[in-house]
Amino acid sequence: MIPILGLVAGIVLGVLLPYDIPYQYHSYVAVAILAALDSVFGGAAASLQGKFNLKIFISGFFGNALIAAALAYIGDQLGIEIYLAAIFAFGNRIFLNFAVIRRHWLKKLTKDDKVV
């Protein structure tokens, strides 16, 4: 539940303390946010599976966000849209982790062992 609480706290802080990001940094921040969301969904899925490790979550959260933003920056400097690869990879993992979470809750709600 720690990842979900962190997500909620981040949303509340973002709403209460709005900040305008300069236009030239939009793609970097967007990729970093997507990477962080991937870590949140991955942490939630791991928590439901009983495999959550806070050190792995924290290192993945910040590490993925920093690497994704750095790749977007490097790609921008080279004139290559590398951030699109990061968007695809993190977006795909978010949907896969959401599928794990959804299946867990459906199984719990229906109490049917056949829903996997």
Q: Is residue 75 part of a domain?
A: yes
Q: Is residue 80 part of a domain?
A: yes
Q: Is residue 42 part of a domain?
A: yes
Q: Is residue 116 part of a domain?
A: no
pLDDT, mean of residues 13-30: 85
Residue partners of 19: CB distance under 8 A and separation at least 6: none
Reduced DSSP (H G I as helix, E B as strand, rest coil) percent helix, strand, coil of the chain, to 5: 80, 0, 20
- pLDDT category of residue 112 using cuts at 50, 70 and 90: low
Q: Record the tokens describing residue 100, joined without a space.
A: 């794990």
Q: Is residue 13 part of a domain?
A: no
pLDDT, mean of residues 38-55: 90
Q: Is residue 18 part of a domain?
A: no
Residue 115 has a pLDDT of 53
Distance CA 85, CA 42 (A): 19
Residue 113 has a pLDDT of 57
Q: Is residue 9 part of a domain?
A: no
Please tell me the least confidently modeled range out of 40-44, 52-56, 74-78, 112-116.
Answer: 112-116
